[in-house]
Structure 1
Amino acid sequence: MELQQHGRGGARVLVVDDDPTVAEIVTGYLDRAGYVVDRAGDGPDALARAEAHWPDLVVLDLMLPGMDGLEVCRRIRGRGPVPVIMLTARGDEDDRILGLEVGADDYVTKPFSPRELVLRVESVLRRTRPAQPSATLRAAGLSVDQSARRALKDGTELALTIREFDLLAFFLRHPGRVFSREDLMREVWGWDFGDLSTVTVHVRRLRGKVEDDPARPRLIQTVWGVGYRFDAADQGA
């Protein structure tokens, strides 16, 4: 596997879609935005291309022939951390949530604006590479190194997606404060509007990784009718 680092404009993006028209349009817009683009038409081809030239980000269609996008996402993530934006032709909420549950960092529903997709790619990549090194955050047995993008719980490294890491770091920077889902979408995702179930799914996934008992969360608490609060009090902070 060839690991490469690119500047913001030259990041490598792997576009996986069995519709040649969609793939060509997406590739064209990303190419004009300054990205290095690889294309794959199915799951095995995507895995082979990722192995040959590891991408900085994957744009992945959910509905692929044979090996579907969910399985491709699992297998690519099994080889190494990489942000994934899922494409789905269906607007059903269950499909969107399923994509987020397997670790997609974002999703776009077809038909979509190619310009919007480029903006989503820029947003995800920007959040994976902090412009400046920042301090390590510590609370309640958690340690978040924002510069290296590593998170530990009681000394054991956590396997977090890009958005889960951003969400945890945000909570640790603002302990004791209550944030609505709209607040979190704006501050963590950088969106002024969007599907709030995205936030709900990521909070649930994050609890599953940082809470001793996710069914009875003590760190990321729900404030009914308002939102969520990170509470490190009496947790060994």
Structure 2
Amino acid sequence: MGYAYISIIEGNPHLRSLLGWHLQHVGYSVCQSADFHHAREVFYTTQPSLVVIDAELPGGNSLEFCQWLLQQRQSLILMLSARNTESDIVRGLRAGADDYLTKPFGMQEFLARAEALMRRTRNVAPPTSLDYGDLKIDLVQRRVYLQGQMIELTPQEYSLLYVLAQNDGEPLSRSELLRRAWPDYIDNPRTIDTHVLSLRKKMETDPRQPSLIQTVRNIGYRLNLDVLKPEPSWYPSVNGQLPPIQAKTGS
């Protein structure tokens, strides 16, 4: 059980620590965050099975964060809230929460609900790919397909593309990309530019006028999902098998 991660996003440091201590005591690995910015970074590094969210966290919208988590197709959500009206509970569940626990609550009830959700994660197979129409990222084989052709990427290029894809079209700064996509600490944001150039040469029709991996002025880069066709004709419809294709390497 020690490798089953639970992420706690709670603004009250005392409650956050208490919840973490009890979860660790029963055998879970726990990561704690006081805000959504840190929680996103933690998500990419730990891939938690369960996320416990404080609905009233200052400086962030918990409902929007729930919707973001749903897009990742990775974690179940337990929402904690002092709001106990029916409309509040319905709003939280419709935003994506799998369970809703009102404050104040007993620690045994919290643990029982967390453990019930964790049992559900054992029966749900993790996603094997990210599909964005013409672009498919195979998470098992660590392969990338664009318009039916396999693109041969280096491990670092794959990691960079994966992080860009996970951000659903929103831009990421060079420093954020370094933190999320590089296994070791590197204090040179221009390293990103070199790898982006390499990705463009392999994936863009015209690398000098990129439409897929776009530069966002004064910020960094984004993956432009709007240029990808939603239902590519090459995508296999039987047994989920990819068609035999020739590798495209580029230079």
Instruction: Output aligned runs, 1:129-208, within 5 Å.
Output: 129-130=122-123, 148=125
Structure 1 CA distance for aligned equivalents of residues 125 and 108 of structure 2 = 30
Name the structure 2 match of 1:107: 100
Q: 1:76 is matched by which residue type in structure 2? A: L
Q: Is the 8 A contact 1:29 1:115 kept in 2?
A: no
TM-score normalized with structure 2 length? 0.48
Instruction: Note if contact 1:89-1:110 (Cα within 8 Å) is conserved in structure 2.
Output: yes
Look up the match of 1:82: 75
How large is the RMSD of aligned CA atoms in angstroms? 1.8
Provide the residue aligned with 1:64 in structure 2. 57
By how many angstroms is 1:90 displaced? Answer: 1.5
1:22, 1:68 → 2: CA distance? 19
Equivalent residues of 1:50, 1:76 under 8 A apart: no
Q: Give distance in 2, aligned partners of 1:75 and 1:113.
A: 29
Is the CA contact (8 Å cut-off) linking 1:62 and 1:70 kept in structure 2?
A: yes
Equivalent in the alignment of 1:55: 48
Residue in structure 2 matched with residue 196 of structure 1 by the alignment:
none
Distance of aligned partners of 1:127 and 1:14 in 2 relative to their CA distance in 1, 3 Å threshold: same
Deviations 1:199-234 (A, max 9, x none): xxxxxxxxxxxxxxxxxxxxxxxxxxxxxxxxxxxx
* TM-aligned CA deviation for residue 10 of structure 1: 3.9
Conserved in 1, the CA contact under 8 Å of 2:47 and 2:74? no
Q: Extract structure 1 runs of 4+ deviating beyond 4 A.
A: 147-150
Displacement of 1:38? 0.3
1-structure distance, mates of 2:65, 2:59: 10
Q: Is the 8 A contact 1:43 1:72 kept in 2?
A: yes
Which residue, 23, 29, 36 being the options, matches 1:30? 23
User: 1:67/1:123 Cα in 2 relative to 1: closer, same or farther (>3 Å)?
Assistant: same
- Whether the 8 Å contact between 1:47 and 1:76 is mirrored in structure 2 is no
Pairwise CA distance, 1:103:
1.3
Cross-structure match for 1:153? none
Normalized against structure 1, the TM-score is what? 0.50
**Contact 1:12/1:36 (8 A) holds in 2:** yes
Larger Rg: 2
Instruction: Work out the percentage of aligned pairs sharing the same amino acid.
Output: 35
Q: 1:20 to 1:149 in 2, by over 3 A?
A: closer
Whole-angstrom distance in 2 between the partners of 1:37 and 1:64: 19
Q: 1:43 corresponds to which residue?
A: 36
Q: Shift of the alpha carbon at 1:46?
A: 1.0
Residue 176 of structure 2 corresponds to none
Q: What is the distance in 1 between the residues matched to 2:61 and 2:13?
A: 17
For 2:4, give the aligned amino acid. A
Cα deviation digits, residues 162-196 of structure 1 (max 9, x gap):
xxxxxxxxxxxxxxxxxxxxxxxxxxxxxxxxxxx
CA contact (8 A) 1:13 1:37 kept: yes
Gaps in structure 2 of 5+ consecutive residues = 128-251
The amino acid of 1:111's aligned partner reads P
For residue 22 of structure 1, report the CA deviation from its aligned partner: 0.9
Q: Could you tell me how far 1:128 is from its partner in structure 2?
A: 2.5
Q: In structure 1, what is the equivalent of residue 158 of structure 2?
A: none
Q: Structure 2: how far apart are the matches of 1:124 and 1:79?
A: 17
